[in-house]
Amino acid sequence: MSIFHSLFYTCKEASLQVEKKLDDTLSFSQKLKLNCHLFFCNTCKKYKQQSILLNKAIAHGVLKNKANIKEFKEKLSARFND
Amino acid sequence: VTEKEKKETINSWINLYTSDLFSWALYKVSSKETTEDLVQDTFVAAFSGLEKFKNNSSPKSWLFSILNNKIVDHYRKTKNQTIHFQDIGEQLAIENANSFFSTDEYWVEKINSSTWNEKENVLDNLEFQKVLNNCLEKLPAKWKDIMVYKFLIEKDSKEICKDFELTSSNYWQIIHRSKLLLKNCIQKNWSL
């Protein structure tokens, strides 16, 4: 079990590593181990695809909600200009 | 540093960071007036404390730490947040997220059929954004904060951990669990 475990991620570990990979915080050997798992595991592959899309969708939604603050900015600048 | 230089620094920061600071504060306090006050107070505090700013941290991080303190103060003044209930919510959410895996940590349900990731144009689909927003609302408040913060502020994970006082492993677990719950929620509520 322990040798098996040191070579292969479980699905829980692999999907967690996917999140780190999307943030670019995996070492080379971790990436290798993850890719190995993804090669054999369709559900984790799917997890990764959906996770990438979710990241895009959340960023998209958050950016779209950015308020129009031009006026407020000008008010702020004026405060520090006189 | 002269007064004029200080003003120039603050003005360039106003230009660069107001939008992000405003969005975050608005998300946290929900009122436009309060948001404007908090962001303005942040720049006033930054101006008078400019000597304390060290160039080894980014201005954006520094301004956000000031703003976050102002938000905490604001809540302290207006109401006592019921942290107790949030904790129960978080415990439930953890159990929920864990339930996707068997005891030996493999998926309980395998995905074979096509799922929503293959559907086109979900990003610009208003219905999808609505479902996603509803699903975000169902996350424990702290998790939702972290997810929104992560994408709004575009800081690296180390800085986010610092801002929320989380260990790195704690942070990644929250991201992982939030994603699991979001996926499941979208799966249930989204269909073309």
Contacts with A69 from chain B: Cβ below 8 Å: 18-19, 22
Mean pLDDT confidence for B124-146: 89
Which value does ipTM take for this structure? 0.85
Dump pLDDT digits (tens) for B66-96.
999 999 898 887 765 544 445 568 889 999 9
Query: Of B143, B147, B133, B142, which Cα lies nearest the Cα of B189?
Result: B133
Give residues 40 to 79 of A whose Cβ lies within 8 Å of B: 42-44, 46-47, 49-51, 53-62, 64-67, 69, 72-73, 76-77, 79
DSSP-derived 3-state class of residue B105: coil
How many interchain CB pairs under 8 A, A with B? Answer: 115
Q: Quick one: residue B30, left, alpha or beta (phi over 0 = left, psi -120 to 50 = alpha)?
A: left
> A11 and B180 in contact by Cβ < 8 A?
no
pLDDT score recorded for residue A1:
47
CA distances from A16 to A11, A25, A75, B55 (A): 8, 12, 45, 34
> For residues B66 and B35, what is the distance between their CA atoms, to the nearest angstrom?
14
Maximum separation of any 2 CA atoms in chain B, in Å: 66
Lowest mean pLDDT among A5-14, A24-33, B78-87: B78-87
Look up residue A14 and give its two tokens.
Answer: 């692999």
